[in-house]
Chain A
Amino acid sequence: MKNNLFLLTKVLVRGGNSIGKNGKKNRNWVLWLILGIAFLPMIGQLAAFTALGYDVLKNIEIQTVIPAIIIALSSFVVFFFGIFYVLNTFYFTQDIESLLPLPLRPFEILGAKFIVVTIYEYLTEIVVLLPVLVVYGIKSGGGVLYYLYSAVIFLIMPVIPLVISSLIIMPLMRFTGFVKNKDRFKYFVSIFALGIGLGVNAVVQKYAKGNIDPETIQTKLEGLDKNVDMVTTYFPSAKFAALGLINNNSLNGVLNIFLFILISCGAAALFLFVGQLLYFKGVMGISDATASRKKISGDEFNRKVVHSSAIKTYLLKEFKILIRTPIYFINCILMNFIWPVFMLIPLFSGNADIGKIREFINGNFSGLFIGIGFGFIMFLTSTNGITATSISREGKNLYINRYIPFGYKDQIIAKVLSGIIIGLFGIIIMIIVVGAILGIGIENLIYLFVVGLLGLIFSSFTGIMFDLLNPKLDWDNEQKAVKQNLNLIFNMLVGIVVAVVSVLFVFLLGLTALQAFIVLSVVFVIIDVLLYVLVSKVGVNLYKKIEQ
């Protein structure tokens, strides 16, 4: 039994991390290193914030709330991601079909998958939990025991939130027919999660507004001690973990850590027990899509069966797959429209003085409006990953593109076009909304549209170049093609750098809107043409050389 569990865990962990075969392992490490570096600023900020928070809270002697808050907060983040990890790793993955016929008991499969998900969550913890624990340890002069307890907490903390995620998902999968349709359920959960995200954002914005008064901050801080109790009640283990850390010098600390471990073990046992009962029946019979099996009527047939050009049909194929695959839809398409909404929340929640912004933009700073607008569009279009994952998304079926009589360059251009067209929708909606709310002149909006389009073309070309250089084709779960794809992150980094440089350029030179428009247009027309040449020559050669 034990052997089965560890054997399976080993196989699953390896399967999940294989970006490429053969000699690519080393490169893999380099990529992870770059990803780590990309997260460094965030980790650094959190560490700095903790240090600052420690000093402030120490004045009123409640610095000990820090571990409690961060453990509770990390528990929530782990729980939130856990919902998706559990769905995708336990249920919506292709390895299930090969695992079910093996003589394995439900809890063995579940146990192995649980460990895999826990490992994924360690990555979350490295960003969210680790910096705070370390800084707190340094600030409070924690000894060996403090770090030992921290390590224990780091390793065990994800268990309880993940068990809660599982206990929500497993009965749903077992007892409701609705979720048996993979695609429909994924759309549902993701849009629900986005709703929560937007809601949290709106609440935070509102809260932030009410908290500006220093006196209110003081009272809030004093009330914090009680809030900690409240926060940690949702994750009871978090309280024990925090108390263990805080009292690491005394017997009380050992007891709390011991309780924390005990509760986590209990939760894991409960999970395995419930899983043993619910898992197999829930995972069996999940279908990918519903089928009507109805004959297409003569009229419909005549309407649908018509000739169109190869490039159009290929482009339509890209769109259909992007829209019909939930993971692609959410990451590549919905993101285009969600980001502008996120940006607009401050405007609607009343934090910003629209009148002032309007004055600001239509006055001397119209150039900066073009610069920032361009920067934002660069960021937006480089984040959607439509082109940066377009080769990776083909996965094991990339070979089809090689035997169809449709040239490699045309295929690449069609993929780039798919990114440009969808991005264009995002830009147009954003420009209309921003223009209407801020009352920006039509001239400036046209300038922004033109430079935005050039930025969109830029990020679409750079995206596909990254994906051509190192496509991630070896995946068994669509999520891996877009979510665990570093090409998207590289493209995003390039987008951010270009955005920042452009904004700084416009700002430092104090350009007017017209000047900013002319300079950005000229620069990016030249760069875009160069990128087109690069993609047509080098890109096509790279595409030819991809062997599976």
Chain B
Amino acid sequence: MIELINVNKSYNGKVKAVDNLNLKINDGEVFGFLGPNGAGKTTTIKMITGILNSDTGSIKINGIDISEKPIEAKRQFGFVPDDPNIFLRLKGLEYLNFMADLYKVSTEDRKKRISALSERFEMENALGDQIQSYSHGMRQKIVIMGVLVHNPSVWILDEPLTGLDPKSSFTLKEMMREHVENRNTVFFSTHVLEVAEKICDRVAVINKGKILFCGTLDQMKIHFKGEESLEKMFLEMTDNEK
């Protein structure tokens, strides 16, 4: 579960990136975070994950406040950043071990998970090579595997499907659904509305730092009185704000 209460963030004390945000993502749901470029999606995700401090308000992950007990809160989630170009000079396997050590995964568990994940993402032949030799999609996969190796209950993913091939994209979506079936939480941002439409239980639309809508897709359709496509609703919502 992720909870944001009255969260504000401005840069240089002027530009308000996130404006009094309230959001609750429940256990057992895939939650899509939608919004145009520069809407405040990444800033929000950075605050949830502890990369940025919020100016005011509180952020809790599984009930643990990220600013009060940062380490404990960080253990609750796994984060896939939008840029997979990280630790390029480590080998794939070294990176997975690094993540497993930081999250205190036992030797037995990590062996099982690394084997299973590398098979599922077809990365067995790449684990012995440095990440800088990987393609964009492979880098994306190793970062996702680095999250799954410590099996967190909350997944936070920033644009996770960009750059993945169709099969890996399918696998990841499948895994997101499997994960929430065990009463876990998946929170991800995307521009791709079809993805949100297919796998999300609920979505929030953010623009200019404010939540414009939060609810199920059905509620959104009622809100817009009709069978409009998500794309049209999205455009209407974000357009009215301008």
Contact = CB atoms under 8 A, between A and B. Distances in A.
Q: Do the two shown chains form a genuine complex with each other?
A: yes
B188 interface: no
B128 A402 contact: no
Interface string B40-68: 00000010011111000000000000000
Interface residues of A, number: 40
Interface string A265-298: 0000000000000000000000111111111100
A161 to B, nearest CB: 33
Interface string B84-107: 011111100110011111111111
Given A302-B111, A307-B106, A310-B101, A289 B130 contact: yes
Contacts of A307: 100-101, 104-107, 110
B202 interface: no
Nearest to A298: B115
B74 A325 contact: no
A294 B124 CA distance: 8
Contacts of A302: 111
A289 B74 contact: no
Contacts of A291: 126, 129-130, 133-134
Nearest to A300: B128
A10 B241 CA distance: 38
Contacts of A314: 98, 102
Given A313-B102, A317-B98, A404-B74, A304 B93 contact: yes
B127 interface: yes
Nearest to B106: A307
Nearest to B49: A403
B155 interface: no
Interface string A301-325: 1101111111011100100110011
B94 A405 contact: no
Given A291-B126, A302-B111, A317 B106 contact: no
Contacts, number: 112
Given A304-B93, A307-B101, A288 B88 contact: yes
B114 interface: yes
A547 interface: yes
A400 interface: yes
A445 B179 CA distance: 61
A321 B98 CA distance: 13
A406 interface: yes
Given A307-B100, A403-B79, A288 B90 contact: no
A399 B51 contact: yes
Given A289-B132, A309-B101, A313-B98, A403 B74 contact: yes
A312 B88 CA distance: 20
A294 B128 contact: yes
A211 interface: no
Given A291-B126, A293-B126, A307-B107, A405 B74 contact: yes
Interface in A322-346: 324-325
A310 B97 contact: no
Interface string A180-213: 0000000000000000000000000000000000
A100 to B, nearest CB: 17
A397 interface: yes
B130 A402 contact: no
Contacts of B106: 307
B88 A293 contact: no
Interface string A66-83: 000000000000000000
A406 B102 contact: yes
Nearest to A547: B52
A481 B97 CA distance: 27
A320 B94 contact: yes
A405 B100 CA distance: 11
Contact of A405 (B46, B85, B87, B102): B102
Contacts of B104: 307, 310
B86 A397 contact: yes
B127 to A, nearest CB: 6
B240 interface: no
A497 to B, nearest CB: 35
B75 interface: yes
B102 A400 contact: no
Given A304-B93, A313-B102, A293 B125 contact: yes
Contact of B125 (A287, A290, A295, A405): A295
A296 B128 contact: yes
B71 interface: yes
A181 B141 CA distance: 24
Contacts of A400: 81, 86-87
B129 A310 contact: no
B131 to A, nearest CB: 9
Nearest to A306: B107
Given A291-B126, A291-B133, A405 B86 contact: no
A288 B74 contact: no
Given A22-B12, A305-B110, A313 B101 contact: yes
The 6 closest A-B pairs by CB, nearest first: A291-B133, A313-B101, A405-B74, A291-B129, A288-B132, A403-B49
5 contacts: A307-B105, A320-B94, A324-B130, A397-B85, A406-B102
Interface of B: 12, 46, 49-53, 70-72, 74-75, 79, 81, 83, 85-90, 93-94, 97-107, 110-111, 114-115, 124-130, 132-134
Given A403-B74, A405-B103, 16 more contacts: A288-B133, A291-B130, A291-B134, A292-B128, A293-B126, A294-B128, A295-B124, A296-B128, A302-B111, A305-B93, A305-B107, A306-B107, A307-B100, A397-B85, A402-B51, A405-B71
